[in-house]
Every structure is written in C-alpha cells, then in structure tokens.
Structure 1
C-alpha cells in the first residue's frame, strides 16, 4: 500500500476532526455581507470553486473563486481566503502580495512556518490532514467537510451521514473495471462542479489517463461527442438523470450513486489509484509533479 492509498483510506476519520473545527471555519468565512474571494492553484482552485458556491448559497454574500495565477487586483474584496496546502505556492503568495491595504487575508494550510504565514491576518491550520503524497486527497476533502459543517444551518445540510458514507465509499465496488476504461468524464452541479474538476485531476495526476470535467448540463453542448464504449461518465451530486440517456446513446457507461458527494470523490480517488495500478504506475511519484509549485 502506497502513501496515496493510505491517505485516501484515512479520510473518514480525518473528516471528523475537520467537522469539529466548524466554529473556526465560520469565523474565517467572515460576517454575512462580506464580499469575499477564494483563490488557490490546482486542487486548491477547485476547492475554492466549491467553497465559493457554498458560501453564496448560504447567504453570506458575494463570493468569487479565482485561479491564483490569474488573479488581477481589479475588484475590491473585503476578505480573501487563500487555500494552499504547503504555504509555499508561488502564485498564491504573489496574489496575496497584490491585495490592497485593508483586505482581510485568510490562509487555509496544512503546515506552519511557511511564507504564507507572513502574508495573512488569519490562518486555519489543518495539520492533521497533511499528506506525504504529492497527489492531494484528504487535505482538500477535509477542508470542504469543515466549511460545510460551518455552513450547515444555512444550507440545511445534514452531515450526520458524511463519515458513514465516506467509510462506505472505501468498501464499495468500483463502478467499472479500470482495464475496460480509457476515458473518464466527471460531471457536477452547484458546489459539486469543483468536485468533478478535482476528480478528473486525480485521474490525470495518478494514472496519466484521459479525463475531463464539466458542469453537468453543459456536457451535451459538445463534449459528449467524444464519448464511446470505453468511456465512463460519472455524476457528482444531484445532476439530472436525463443525462444518462445521452451518455448511453453515445455508447458510454453512466455512473451515479446516492453517497454524499465528498464520499463520491473518495470513490473516484480509489478509481484513479486502481487505474494507476493497472497501468503499472505509482501514484506516489506522479509524472512531472511536485508537492508545491515554487517558481524562480
């Protein structure tokens, strides 16, 4: 068992600790009406997308998500939340340095003593969710479990089944034989679009395989054209079931289940590592990747 697989399996237990930090997470989100930007790179950017959608849906105010490398200080924000597991990603640090004076800066990290510490006013530390693996799994999912708990009352969310669903995802059969799949598509809606993007990234990182991701209803606006008999189209959350008919018409295999969307992401992570094993790859040493992108 490699580090990536071990960390995937640890998620339900780690989520419990994240959920217990709901109060700290709520303070980091700011008061209702606070105009907020969430930014990150790679996985952290996809978590930013999910978090921004959750915060707005909860009625806390306008919330944008931006890829840190694309941040330009054109709009005024009261608060910026930077997601960076390592605290060292160059583009995140540069974005924080560009913020106008008076902007409240928050960092969500897995480590202390890194450059991001000197650039923020508030830090949320998830050191218990840090990872040895380059490929992120439990840090981003714990982050979302924590913030979902912080917003549970506004969203009407019942997180009582989250941990149980996470454990079920560890034992559930994979939706297809990895040997029979060469193309994966992940679909989401609302806050699960970010999860779909993250699932597709795990497949690319761990298994060097062809994967795509889209907002669910946009799939029929072109992307379905490349689906075929070796395609698996995987839906996160409450996407319209009518999409499955379009997937089958393309000769592809649709997949959806009733687990909590974060638990569905666990299953997708397992599929990515199983596909890596089928291809003779070690997800602990993903091609051309490092734990943090630090530019000269």
Structure 2
C-alpha cells in the first residue's frame, strides 16, 4: 500500500482525535458576529470555500473565502484564517503580510515552527493529521470535521460513515472511466472541487466540478459512456437522469459528505493504479509551493 492510501485509510481515527479540539477551534473559527475571511491555496482554498459556507449557514456572521494569491486588502475583516498544511506556501504568507493591522490572524496548519506562525496571533495545530504524501487527503478533511464541530454540528456519525466508505465498493470500474464530474451544493461545492483536484493530482485524469444545477448549463455536453458523475450531499436526484441520458455512470449515497470524499479519494488512487501511476509522486507537484523571486 502506498503512503497516500494509508493516509486515506487513517481518516476516521484522525477525525475522532480532531474533535477533542472542538472548544479550541470554536474560539478561533466560530467567532460569532465577526466578519471573517478564510484563505488558502489549492486544496486549502477549497476547504476555505466549504468553511465559509458552513459558518454563514450556521448564522455566525459574514464569511468570505479567497484564493490566497488573489487576496487584496479592500474589505475590512475582523479575522483572517489562513489554512496551510505546511505553513510555508508563498502565496499564503504574502497574503498574511498584507492583512491590515488590528485584524486577528489565525493559522491552521499541520507543522509547528513554520513561517506562518510568525504572521498569526493564534494557531490551530493539527500535527496528528499531517501527511507524508504530496496529495492532501486527511489534513483537509480533518480541518473540515473540526470546523463543522466548532460551528455546532453533531458529528457522532462521522467516523462510522468514514469507515463504511473505506470498505464500500468503488462507484465504477476505473478501467472504464476516462472523465469524472463532481457535483455539490452549498458547502459541498468545495468538496466537489477538491475531489476533482484529487483525480487530477493522483491520476492525471480529466475531471471537472460544478455547483450541481450548473451541470445542465453546458458541462453535460461532454459526458459520455466513459464518464462518472459523482454527487456530494443533497444534490437533486434528477441530475442522475441527466447524467445517464448522456451515457454516464452516476453515483450518490447517503453517507456524510466527508465520507463520500473518502470514496472519491479511493477512486482517484484506483484510477492512478489503473494508469500505472504512483500517487505518492504526482507529476510536477511538491508538498508545498514555495516561489522564488524569478517566478
């Protein structure tokens, strides 16, 4: 088993450990009534999108999510939360340096003693969720599990759903799939983006992601008998008919969306194996993006 698969399999136990930090996370992430910005790059940006939707839906206050490289200090925020597994991503550090004085800055990371620590007043350290793999799996899902608990969600079912997803049948035979479409609604739109990224990173495969209802507004045109349309959360059931009408395989289940992401991660690894690829060493990728002045 490769390291990425081992880290995927560890997620239910890691989530349980993370939930012991709910009170600490509530202090730094919930902040009722504050206006909050959440930033990150790549996977962390998609996690930021999920958290922003979850926080607003919980009635805790206005919350935005911005890709760190696109942050501009144009709006006033009470709090900026920066998500970075390594704590070294250049764009995240640059964004934090631009945050106006007086704004509370929080770092969510997996590694202590990194440059991000010097740019934040508070830190949520999830070192037990760190990964050796370049491809992120358990760190982002752990951040999301902890944020959901901090916002008051009952997650007593989560670990069991995750374990079920580890033993569930894959949604399709990887040998038959050349194209994947991930759909979500509300906070699971960010999960759809993350699932599509996992397929691109691990398997170098053609994958897309959309807010669910937008699938009919053009993207369905490229679906065919070699497509898998995978739905997260409460996506309208009629979209399965839309996918099937294009010849695609469709998949949904009633497990927690984070457990559904575990299944999508497993499929990405299986697709990589089908293509003779090593997900521990994805093409052109590194654990952290650190840019030089020449870039």
Residue 40 (structure 2) aligns with: 40
Tell me, yes or no, if structure 1 residue 52 matches structure 2 residue 48: no
- Determine helix, strand or coil for the equivalent of 2:216: coil
In structure 1, distance between residues paired with 2:69 and 2:255: 33
In structure 1, distance between residues paired with 2:92 and 2:151: 25
Give 4+ residue runs of structure 1 displaced > 6 Å after superposition: none
In structure 1, distance between residues paired with 2:20 and 2:54: 18
- Determine helix, strand or coil for the equivalent of 2:175: helix
Residue 195 (structure 1) aligns with: 191
Aligned mate of 2:288, from 270, 287, 292: 292
Residue 201 (structure 2) aligns with: 205
Aligned mate of 2:242, from 237, 242, 246: 246
Alignment of 1:49-128 (within 5 A): 49-128=49-128
In structure 2, distance between residues paired with 1:109 and 1:159: 22
Give the deviation of 1:203 after TM superposition.
Answer: 0.2
Which ranges in structure 1 are unaligned for 5 or more consecutive residues? Answer: none
- Determine helix, strand or coil for the equivalent of 1:77: coil
Give the deviation of 1:180 after TM superposition.
Answer: 0.4
In structure 1, distance between residues paired with 2:24 and 2:196: 30
- Determine helix, strand or coil for the equivalent of 2:282: coil
Residue 263 (structure 1) aligns with: 259
In structure 2, distance between residues paired with 1:218 and 1:128: 37
Tell me, yes or no, if structure 1 residue 137 matches structure 2 residue 133: no
In structure 2, distance between residues paired with 1:17 and 1:149: 12
Give the deviation of 1:295 after TM superposition.
Answer: 0.4
In structure 1, distance between residues paired with 2:53 and 2:234: 15
- Determine helix, strand or coil for the equivalent of 1:54: helix
How many corresponding residue pairs? 292
In structure 2, distance between residues paired with 1:131 and 1:31: 29
TM-score, structure 1 normalization: 0.98
Give the deviation of 1:253 after TM superposition.
Answer: 1.2
- Determine helix, strand or coil for the equivalent of 2:209: strand
- Determine helix, strand or coil for the equivalent of 1:159: coil
In structure 2, distance between residues paired with 1:179 and 1:31: 47
In structure 2, distance between residues paired with 1:233 and 1:28: 36
CA deviation map 1:171-219 (0-9, x unaligned): 0010100000000000000010110000000000000000000000111
Could you say what the CA RMSD is over the residues aligned between the two structures, in angstroms?
Answer: 0.7
In structure 1, distance between residues paired with 2:125 and 2:261: 22
Contact 2:30 2:150 in 1 (8 A): no
Contact 1:30 1:79 in 2 (8 A): no
Tell me, yes or no, if structure 1 residue 10 matches structure 2 residue 6: no
Give the deviation of 1:31 after TM superposition.
Answer: 2.6
In structure 1, distance between residues paired with 2:29 and 2:129: 20
CA deviation map 1:140-189 (0-9, x unaligned): 0011111111112xxxx431110000000000010100000000000000
In structure 2, distance between residues paired with 1:95 and 1:65: 13
Tell me, yes or no, if structure 1 residue 182 matches structure 2 residue 178: yes
- Determine helix, strand or coil for the equivalent of 2:39: strand
Residue 29 (structure 1) aligns with: 29
